[in-house]
């Protein structure tokens, strides 16, 4: 199992299940024979065996309480490396980047585990270090694109060398460890992922001309020292200690590594844009703009705000960030600093407000990043009911349901004035939806229309015997009828043609149509819900207004 | 023992034992005389204790001696000692823990030894024990049991692994490596503060909870939190990562080709029904009677007949739907057929065990007069031939009704059908023997059973319109016999479970079969013995099928109450396959007792279709 995980061998679905399974159709997993043979040739198998022998010897020595033997055995503990497996599984660097999603999520998860039980402390520390290093890289290269606060955790998406890399980090709470999870499997995965991530980090740092393992810039170091005082001096005594300090606190690394690198970064990029075509240039400019979203802004995080994700996001868009000194080391300026422009706070009220800065809820940062522009701050003041937080990963296609907030946002991005037009748009949107509804109804009706037609015929027959109806209305009806008849005819033709389809094609067609209809139904349902909600809100408002008047 | 207690006063004679052992006794040990030494009487209750605490100034320094049970008042020295010990100081007041240390040994080598003891002998001779240990180690090293210490690995843990990467290199082992699919990205509903429409309503939440975890479309309940501070940890986070891990190494991977077709492209391009006119499109006539479901019908030019379950045959006019005659026959009419010969006016009616040849006496007087004459001109042959059936002339009363001849079978008759010339007719008897099918000649009043053996339950039979072929449909096959050569020419596999009806194209090369499993099979006799096309248009069992005599149309009536009219063009060119296009779905019949349309029939000249249903109506679509 461990080998399969490390080598990335997965079962295969055989083409002829019955043939392979000796005639039975019971569900079994099948591996390719080639894969199994391939696993047997792996040199790491021998290493694993050695390790097993070592463990056995050690246990024996412990049992006999031969401590010197234990010592000796421990000194010669066999080690193995996964380098060649990484190289083999990912022959090119791009391949490795493509598969980085799971590695990052796993490392971030493991780095939040407590240092006791469950898995080795070294693994946790390594994970933490690698995760921090990767975050530093993202900050230095400013490659973060999207952030999403979900109820599961925080999703980040960065664009590393043109590859979108998405990972999720849990919220910083203690985990209650489930009992039905096999931690050994996860540990094996993590073992491989840490190796992979280490090499990827190395390469990424070198691509930015950064030192690996990361070192704090000496100039920034000097800046920091007087502020930090003794704690920091202690850390910088020896390289190893410093490294461990790096891994333990992200923020301190964040500040310095980045600042000297930005300039280096920009020159080549600008040179390229000049050569490229206009469309690309525009895109690039937008990207550049997005990258410098928070440039020149100075943030201060209140202590109840989750520091790490916010600091990471703000720094990776060029903002400067600080926090209370007692919260974590690495704070660069104080809360009373007059140059602070944005104060992130998550309390319903602010006790003492300082003039000249915005007091905002943390969602503003994330929403601004996703919207690629600094959103108007009015919606995000402390204690205000926040606008919904939308997922940046959803790209609406035609026919999908688009929440009105998203439309507002799109309008904002286009540079329109949001307050006036948003409502109109909402209305438009609603109208559109209505149209959709109508169309759908028509579709539904088309099935019934044959019967309707017949009924009409009969009615007409019966009517012809009786007195004629009023003429004006009859004329009106006819106009509609013509269109309607045409439609009916077309739909009937279609239905007849569908009858003649082959069995397989018919199945496929029905499936596709079912999927489409379901989609439309869901969108309509959401729209209806929204409408109901809005009307309820409006009524409440009216009521409250009336109450106020009274 | 406390020092203040004088030696002779020791009253504890039991020794240093746990005093709990004497807990329940009134005494502690015995004196030298063997008398019990009693404990001091302690009968103080809480109140006494409290009073003593209040009154006795030495209460705080009174301690109970566990050994004797007596109260002891501590002296000042003892109190001081206790206080010192409590502070963590030495008990002895005079002890100074911070005396200046005098170095006993110095770093300077002195000329005299510190002690005057002579050196041991063992310091001169090598130790045997050590020698043994060393030799053991040496032996172990020699034998390879103990490995020398490995040199420390100095190479850095991470280096540029992809320094010499080959962009064209593929994965070593498979060319067909399937990279793991990425996880689905979260949508709006996963947000901590989603738009209100994404939150589940009460019913949806209940439905979500009742679903199996594997069936749920969302594996979480959308929740709304007012601010980021209020967001809790997600309890299933580790689970989800673990499931992802399991998926990565336990799930079979497969490349699934996503069919990306426009559904409109799948619809076959067919000629428009409008271009294939004429065909019946609307219901023109409904003729309903109160009773009976009409099993069968027949039609010539302007008159239609309908046989019903209530034991009557009704003759009605096509143009006005007026019922012209009702002929009671006294039993369920299974089948009626109009003689196709235009010079005759004769109807064959299958009733119970007999086939009646009826002259309806309608229409042209000359015509039905001639028919009567023809039937009466029969001269019985000299010698009686053995016949499987009896030809009985009707009684006078029956003759008055119009019945001209009665062919008495031994078993109930299911179906009767005419040959194209109008002289021969065939009847199907519900029987399992070889005499299921009988062929009769009306002019000679002579009949025969053509088959020696039965090949299964015969459903229906029919004559080839032009050539001497005879089609017999059994449950699953249609057999084609050559009547002249008296041999089987073809056997058509219908691919259906149970054939219900059959019709033959007027050209004679194409046959359609309706079946109870709602399929309609079109056979091209020139092509193969398998159906050229199987049409699954109806939702329920097919009851009857019919071809039009001139127009390229065929119709099928089914239990779902619809009649589907299809365009079935047969080309004279043998290379071109027939073109089948459904052109119209005719509705109108009401389902009664799960039966819909029982019989369909085309008008012999006009593109009209008649259908009779179980709801007691006959409908005409034009």
pLDDT in tens, B388-437: 777 777 777 777 777 777 877 778 888 888 887 777 888 888 777 777 78
State which H helix or E strand residue B514 sits in: strand B510-515
CA dist., res. B35 & res. B27, Å (int): 10
* Domain finish residue from A35, A60, A82: A82
- Which of these, A263, A286, A285, A261, lies nearest to A272 by C-alpha position? A285
All structural domains of chain B with their residue ranges: 19-83, 274-375+387-621
Choose, out of A29, A42, A80, A150, the residue to mutate when testing the contact with B (most B CBs < 10 Å): A150
Please, which pLDDT band fits residue B134 given cuts at 50, 70 and 90? very high
Beta strands in A144-294 (DSSP E): 144-149, 154-160, 163-169
Same domain, yes or no: A217 and A138: yes
CA dist., res. B372 & res. B376, Å (int): 6
Q: Which residue of B has its CA nearest to A531?
A: B197
Q: Which of B153, B238, B274 sits opposite A181 (nearest CB)?
A: B238
Beta bridge partners of A33: none
CA dist., res. A395 & res. A402, Å (int): 9
Q: Looking at the domain assignment, is residue A188 inside a domain?
A: yes
Q: Looking at the domain assignment, is residue A161 inside a domain?
A: yes
DSSP state of B251: S
Q: For position B537, what pLDDT does the model report?
A: 79
What are the chain A neighbours of B261 within 8 Å (beta carbons)? 508, 512
Same domain, yes or no: A194 and A99: yes
Q: Which of A13, A83, A494 sits opposite B161 (nearest CB)?
A: A83
Residue B112: helix, strand or coil by DSSP? coil
Q: Mean pLDDT across the stretch A182-204?
A: 86
**Who wins on pLDDT, A165 or A238?**
A165
CA dist., res. A149 & res. B357, Å (int): 88
**Who wins on pLDDT, B175 or A543?**
A543
State how beta strands A320-323 and A298-301 pair: parallel
Q: Which residue of B has its CA nearest to A1?
A: B249
Q: Do A500 and B235 touch (CB under 8 A)?
A: no
Q: What is the domain count for chain A?
A: 4
Beta bridge partners of B398: none
Q: How near does any CA of chain A get to the CA of B310, in Å? A: 28
Sign of dihedral through CA atoms A316, A319, A320, A324?
negative
As given in the structure block, the two tokens for residue A309 are: 């994700």
* Residue A76 in contact with partner chain B when CB distance is under 8 A: yes
Choose, out of A86, A205, A394, A499, the residue to mutate when testing the contact with B (most B CBs < 10 Å): A499
As given in the structure block, the two tokens for residue B340 are: 């196709």
Q: B565 and B583 in contact (C-beta within 8 Å)?
A: yes
The CATH T-level fold of domain B274-375+387-621 is Methylamine Dehydrogenase; Chain H (2.130.10)
What are the chain B neighbours of A83 within 8 Å (beta carbons)? 161
Q: Mean pLDDT across the stretch B52-61?
A: 84
Q: Among all chains, which residue has been given the structure tokens 């002998």?
A: B121
- Which of these, A190, A192, A196, lies nearest to A113 by C-alpha position? A190
Same domain, yes or no: A51 and A103: no
Same domain, yes or no: A97 and A241: yes
Q: Do A29 and B190 touch (CB under 8 A)?
A: no
Order of all β-strands in the sheet with B562-569: B542-547, B553-558, B562-569, B579-587
CA dist., res. A213 & res. A219, Å (int): 18
Q: Cα dist. A359→A355, A389, B12 in Å? A: 10, 19, 80
Which residues does A118 contact at the CB level (< 8 Å), separation at least 6? A177, A183
B31 Rama sector, left if φ>0, alpha if ψ -120 to 50, beta otherwise: beta
Quick: pLDDT tens for B490-531.
888 777 788 888 888 887 778 888 888 888 888 887 777 778
Does the pLDDT at position A219 exceed 70?
no
**Who wins on pLDDT, A215 or A31?**
A31
CA dist., res. A135 & res. B300, Å (int): 91
Same domain, yes or no: A99 and A180: yes
Q: How near does any CA of chain B get to the CA of A550, in Å? A: 30
CA dist., res. B35 & res. B24, Å (int): 18
- Which of these, A377, A385, A387, lies nearest to A342 by C-alpha position? A377
Q: Among all chains, which residue has been given the structure tokens 């000329």?
A: B111
Please, which pLDDT band fits residue A378 given cuts at 50, 70 and 90? confident
Q: Looking at the domain assignment, is residue A343 inside a domain?
A: yes
Q: For position B293, what pLDDT does the model report?
A: 57
Q: Mean pLDDT across the stretch B545-571?
A: 82
Quick: pLDDT tens for B317-345.
777 777 777 777 777 777 777 777 777 77
Q: How near does any CA of chain B get to the CA of A218, in Å? A: 23
Q: How near does any CA of chain B get to the CA of A488, in Å? A: 13
Chain Cα centroid distance, residue B45? 82
> Out of A5-19, A104-118, B167-181, which region has the weakest mean confidence (pLDDT)?
B167-181
Q: B518 and B558 in contact (C-beta within 8 Å)?
A: yes
Same domain, yes or no: A220 and A101: yes
Q: For position A330, what pLDDT does the model report?
A: 62
* b/e burial code for range B485-521 (CB count within 10 A of at least 16 → b): eeeeebebebebeebbbbbbbbebbbbbbbbbbbbbb
Count, residues in chain A: 550
Beta bridge partners of A150: B191
CA dist., res. B331 & res. B354, Å (int): 10
Choose, out of B133, B176, B185, B269, the residue to mutate when testing the contact with A (most A CBs < 10 Å): B185
H-assigned helices in A360-417: 363-371, 404-414
Q: Looking at the domain assignment, is residue A516 inside a domain?
A: yes
Q: Which residue of A has its CA nearest to B147?
A: A76
How much of chain B, in percent, has pLDDT values that exceed 70? 87
Same domain, yes or no: A38 and A115: no
As given in the structure block, the two tokens for residue A118 are: 């469950």
Q: B274 and B603 in contact (C-beta within 8 Å)?
A: no
Q: For position B139, what pLDDT does the model report?
A: 93
Does the pLDDT at position A208 exceed 50?
yes
What are the chain A neighbours of B282 within 8 Å (beta carbons)? 457
Please, which pLDDT band fits residue A474 given cuts at 50, 70 and 90? very low
Residue B443: helix, strand or coil by DSSP? coil
How much of chain B, in percent, has pLDDT values that exceed 90? 3
CA dist., res. A320 & res. A220, Å (int): 14
As given in the structure block, the two tokens for residue B307 are: 């046989």
Q: Do A13 and B254 touch (CB under 8 A)?
A: yes
Q: Do A102 and B248 touch (CB under 8 A)?
A: yes
* Domain finish residue from A82, A108, A131: A82
Q: Among all chains, which residue has been given the structure tokens 């688009």?
A: A402
Q: Among all chains, which residue has been given the structure tokens 């279709």?
A: B609
Q: How near does any CA of chain A get to the CA of B198, in Å? A: 7
DSSP-assigned states of every residue in A263-287: HHHHHHHHHHHHHS-HHHHHHHHHH
Q: Do B190 and A150 touch (CB under 8 A)?
A: yes
Q: For position B131, what pLDDT does the model report?
A: 93
CA dist., res. A334 & res. A322, Å (int): 7
Same domain, yes or no: A73 and A98: no
CA dist., res. B481 & res. A482, Å (int): 53
As given in the structure block, the two tokens for residue B382 are: 């000299």
Cis peptide before B278 (omega within 30 of 0): yes
Q: For position A249, what pLDDT does the model report?
A: 39
Average pLDDT, whole number, for chain A?
A: 71
Q: Cα dist. B11→B7, B23, B71 in Å? A: 9, 17, 13
Cis peptide before A213 (omega within 30 of 0): yes
Same domain, yes or no: A218 and A349: no
Beta strands in B7-47 (DSSP E): 27-30, 36-38
Domain that residue A344 falls in? 290-393
What are the chain A neighbours of B233 within 8 Å (beta carbons)? 170-171, 173-175
Does the pLDDT at position B546 exceed 70?
yes
- Beta carbons within 10 angstroms of residue B596's beta carbon: 25
Q: For position B170, what pLDDT does the model report?
A: 55
Q: For position A60, what pLDDT does the model report?
A: 93
Same domain, yes or no: A36 and A166: no
Q: A147 and A371 in contact (C-beta within 8 Å)?
A: no
CA dist., res. B273 & res. B508, Å (int): 25
Q: Do A29 and B250 touch (CB under 8 A)?
A: yes
Q: Looking at the domain assignment, is residue A468 inside a domain?
A: no
Q: Cα dist. A376→A368, A373, A398, A418, B196 in Å? A: 9, 9, 28, 10, 21
Q: Cα dist. B530→B457, B478, B507, B522 in Å? A: 20, 10, 19, 9
Residue A449: helix, strand or coil by DSSP? helix
* Greatest mean pLDDT among A301-305, B12-16, B116-120, B371-375: B116-120
Average pLDDT, whole number, for chain B?
A: 77
ipTM: 0.73
**Who wins on pLDDT, A226 or B342?**
B342
Same domain, yes or no: A241 and A97: yes
* Domain finish residue from A357, A377, A393: A393
Same domain, yes or no: A221 and A105: yes
Q: Mean pLDDT across the stretch A77-81?
A: 82
Q: Do B234 and A152 touch (CB under 8 A)?
A: yes
Does the pLDDT at position A59 exceed 90?
yes
């Amino acid at each position: 199992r461990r080998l399969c995980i490390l080598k990335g061998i997965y079962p295969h679905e055989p083409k002829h299940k019955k043939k392979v399974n000796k005639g039975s159709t019971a569900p079994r997993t099948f591996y390719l024979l080639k894969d199994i043979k391939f696993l047997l040739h792996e040199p790491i198998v021998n290493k694993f065996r050695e390790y097993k022998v070592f463990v056995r010897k050690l246990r024996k020595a412990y049992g006999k309480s031969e401590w010197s033997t234990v010592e000796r055995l421990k000194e010669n503990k066999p080690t193995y490396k996964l380098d060649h497996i990484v190289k083999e599984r990912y022959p090119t660097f791009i391949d490795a980047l493509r598969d980085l999603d799971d590695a990052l999520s796993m490392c971030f998860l493991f780095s939040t585990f407590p240092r006791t039980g469950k898995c080795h402390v070294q693994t946790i520390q390594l994970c933490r270090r690698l995760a921090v290093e990767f975050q530093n890289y993202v900050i230095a290269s400013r490659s973060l694109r999207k952030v999403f606060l979900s109820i599961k955790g925080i999703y980040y998406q960065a664009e590393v060398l043109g590859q979108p890399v998405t990972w999720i980090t849990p919220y910083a709470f203690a985990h209650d460890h489930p009992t039905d999870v096999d931690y050994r499997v996860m540990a094996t995965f993590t073992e491989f992922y840490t190796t992979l991530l280490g090499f990827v980090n190395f390469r990424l740092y070198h691509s930015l001309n950064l030192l690996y393992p990361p070192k704090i810039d000496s100039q920034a170091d000097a800046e920091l020292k007087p502020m930090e005082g003794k704690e920091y001096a202690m850390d910088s005594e020896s390289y190893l200690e410093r490294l461990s300090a790096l891994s333990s606190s992200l923020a301190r690394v964040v500040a310095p590594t980045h600042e000297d690198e930005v300039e280096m970064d920009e020159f080549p990029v600008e040179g390229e844009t000049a050569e490229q075509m206009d469309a690309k240039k525009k895109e690039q400019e937008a990207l550049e703009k997005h990258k410098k979203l928070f440039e020149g802004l100075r943030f201060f995080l209140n202590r109840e705000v989750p520091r790490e994700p916010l600091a990471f996001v703000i720094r990776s868009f060029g903002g400067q960030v600080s926090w209370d000194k007692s919260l974590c080391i690495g704070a660069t300026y104080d809360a009373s600093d007059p140059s602070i422009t944005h104060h992130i706070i998550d309390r319903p009220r602010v006790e003492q407000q300082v003039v000249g800065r915005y007091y905002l809820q943390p969602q503003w940062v994330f929403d601004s990043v996703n919207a690629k522009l600094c959103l108007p701050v009015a919606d995000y003041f402390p204690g205000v009911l926040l606008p919904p937080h939308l997922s940046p990963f959803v790209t609406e296609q035609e026919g999908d349901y688009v929440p009105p907030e998203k439309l507002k946002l799109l309008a904002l991005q286009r540079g329109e004035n949001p307050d006036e037009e948003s409502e109109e748009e909402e209305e438009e949107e609603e109208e559109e939806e209505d149209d959709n509804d109508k169309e759908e109804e028509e579709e539904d009706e088309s099935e019934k229309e044959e019967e309707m037609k017949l009924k009409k015929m009969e009615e007409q027959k019966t009517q012809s015997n009786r007195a004629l109806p009023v003429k004006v209305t009859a004329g009106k009806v006819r106009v509609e009828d013509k269109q309607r008849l045409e439609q009916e005819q077309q739909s009937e033709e279609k239905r007849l043609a569908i009858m003649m389809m082959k069995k397989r094609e018919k199945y496929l067609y029905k499936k596709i149509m079912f999927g489409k209809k379901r989609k439309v139904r869901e969108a309509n349902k959401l729209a209806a819900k929204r409408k109901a909600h809005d009307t309820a809100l409006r009524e409440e408002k009216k009521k409250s207004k009336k109450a106020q008047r009274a | 023992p406390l020092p203040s207690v004088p030696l002779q006063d020791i009253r504890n004679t039991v020794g240093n034992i746990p005093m709990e052992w004497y807990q329940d006794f009134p005494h502690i040990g015995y004196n030298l005389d063997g008398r019990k030494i009693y404990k001091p009487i302690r009968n103080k209750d809480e109140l006494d204790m409290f009073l003593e605490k209040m009154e006795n100034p030495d209460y705080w320094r009174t301690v109970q001696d566990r050994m004797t049970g007596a109260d002891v008042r501590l002296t000042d020295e003892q109190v001081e000692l206790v206080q010192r010990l409590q502070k963590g100081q030495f008990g002895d007041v005079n002890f100074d823990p911070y005396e200046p240390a005098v170095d006993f040994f110095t770093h300077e080598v002195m000329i005299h030894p510190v002690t005057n003891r002579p050196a041991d002998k063992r310091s001169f001779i090598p130790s045997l024990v050590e020698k043994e240990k060393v030799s053991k180690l040496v032996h172990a090293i020699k034998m390879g049991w103990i490995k020398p210490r490995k040199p420390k690995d100095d190479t850095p843990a991470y280096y540029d692994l992809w320094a010499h990467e080959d962009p064209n290199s593929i994965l070593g082992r498979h060319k067909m490596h399937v990279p793991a699919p990425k996880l689905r990205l979260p949508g709006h509903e996963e947000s901590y503060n989603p738009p209100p429409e994404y939150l589940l309503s009460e019913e949806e939440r209940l439905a979500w909870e009742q679903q199996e975890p594997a069936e749920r479309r969302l594996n979480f309940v959308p929740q709304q939190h007012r601010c980021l501070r209020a967001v809790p940890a997600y309890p299933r986070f580790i689970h989800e990562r673990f499931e992802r891990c399991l998926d990565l190494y336990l799930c079979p991977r497969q490349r699934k080709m996503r069919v990306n077709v426009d559904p409109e492209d799948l619809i076959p391009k067919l000629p428009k029904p409008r271009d294939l006119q004429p065909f019946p499109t609307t219901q023109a006539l409904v003729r309903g009677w109160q009773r009976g479901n009409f099993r069968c019908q027949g039609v010539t030019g302007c008159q239609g007949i309908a046989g019903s379950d209530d034991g009557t045959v009704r003759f009605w006019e096509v143009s006005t739907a007026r019922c012209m005659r009702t002929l009671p026959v006294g039993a369920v009419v299974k089948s009626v057929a109009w003689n196709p010969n235009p010079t005759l006016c004769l109807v064959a009616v299958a009733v119970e065990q007999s086939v009646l040849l009826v002259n309806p006496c309608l229409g042209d007087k000359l015509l039905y007069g001639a028919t009567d004459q023809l039937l009466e001109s029969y001269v019985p042959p000299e010698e009686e031939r053995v016949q499987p059936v009896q030809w009985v002339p009707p009684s006078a009363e029956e003759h008055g009704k119009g019945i001209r001849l009665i062919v008495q079978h031994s078993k109930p008759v299911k179906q009767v059908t005419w040959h194209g010339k109008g002289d021969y007719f065939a009847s199907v008897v519900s029987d399992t023997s070889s005499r299921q099918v009988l062929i009769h000649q009306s002019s000679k009043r002579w009949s025969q059973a053509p088959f020696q053996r039965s090949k299964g339950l015969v459903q229906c039979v029919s004559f080839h319109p032009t050539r001497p072929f005879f089609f017999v449909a059994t449950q699953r096959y249609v057999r084609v016999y050559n009547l002249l050569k008296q041999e089987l020419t073809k056997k058509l596999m219908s691919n259906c479970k149970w054939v219900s009806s059959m019709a033959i194209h007027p050209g004679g090369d194409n046959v359609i079969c309706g079946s109870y499993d709602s399929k309609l099979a079109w056979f091209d006799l020139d092509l193969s013995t398998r159906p050229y096309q199987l049409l699954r248009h109806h939702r329920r069992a097919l009851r009857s099928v019919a071809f039009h005599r001139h127009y390229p149309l065929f119709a099928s009536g089914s239990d779902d109450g619809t009649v589907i009219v299809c365009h079935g063009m047969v080309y004279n060119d043998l290379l071109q396959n027939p073109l089948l296009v459904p052109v119209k779905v005719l509705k109108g019949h009401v389902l009664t007792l799960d039966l819909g349309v029982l019989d369909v029939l085309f008008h012999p000249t006009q593109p009209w279709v008649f259908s009779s249903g179980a709801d007691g109506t006959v409908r005409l679509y034009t």
